[in-house]
Structure 1
Amino acid sequence: MATYCVLGSFTEQGVRGAKDSPKRAEAFKEMAKKCGVTVKEVYWAQGQYDVVTILEASDDLAVTSLALSAGALGNIRTQTLRLFSAGDMKAIIEKMA
């Protein structure tokens, strides 16, 4: 399974409904299951991003499907980062030219 970090920023609509954010996080977890993605952690943050989510999925397609589905609801804009473990990085380095 690959690991991903999704950084989320509330839209104006999302800020207006900020009180519903914990409920939306639970709905996001259900949506993730339907996309074949496991939500490992959800954090609310200060600064440039309002929400940080750690996900696991078998491929980029599943995570992209989830990000588009969540974004289509209009409450959040996302940026997705593929994360690599130390073991992954060792394998990457071994393949370097």
Structure 2
Amino acid sequence: MATFISLVTYTDQGIKAIKDAPKRVDGVRLLAKKLGGELGELYLTMGGYDIVAFSEFPDAEAAAKFTLTLNSLGNVRTTTLRAFPEDQFRDIVGGLP
């Protein structure tokens, strides 16, 4: 499974209905499972982003479907990063020419 980190900001629509956000997170967890992935830890943050979320998907295509679907609902906008754990980082750097 590939790891992804999503930096999330609420849209005007999302912040107006902020009290519904925990219920929406439950729906997002179900969406991830439907696409073969899993939404892991999620943090409410202060600063440039409202939420930081960790997820795993079998591939980048599944992750793209997840983020596109999530963004299309109109409550949040995401910036999603592919993350490599330390062991993969070491393999990648070790394989450099």
Which band: TM-score by shorter chain?
Answer: over 0.9
Whether the 8 Å contact between 1:10 and 1:77 is mirrored in structure 2 is yes
Once superposed, what is the RMSD of the aligned Cα atoms? 0.8
Quick one: percent identity of the two aligned structures? Answer: 37
> Which secondary structure does the structure 2 equivalent of 1:27 belong to?
helix
Equivalent-residue separation in structure 1 for 2:24 and 2:58 (angstroms): 24
Can you give the 5+ residue segments of structure 1 that lack an aligned partner in the other structure? none
1:37-58 per-residue CA deviation (whole Å, 9 max, x = no partner) reads 1111111111111111100111
Are 1:43 and 2:43 an aligned pair? yes
The ranges of structure 1 where at least 4 consecutive aligned residues each deviate by more than 2 angstroms after the TM superposition are: none
Are 1:23 and 2:29 an aligned pair? no
Can you give the 5+ residue segments of structure 2 that lack an aligned partner in the other structure? none
Equivalent-residue separation in structure 2 for 1:85 and 1:32 (angstroms): 20
Q: TM-score, normalised by structure 2?
A: 0.95
Equivalent-residue separation in structure 1 for 2:17 and 2:80 (angstroms): 23
| Count of aligned pairs | 97
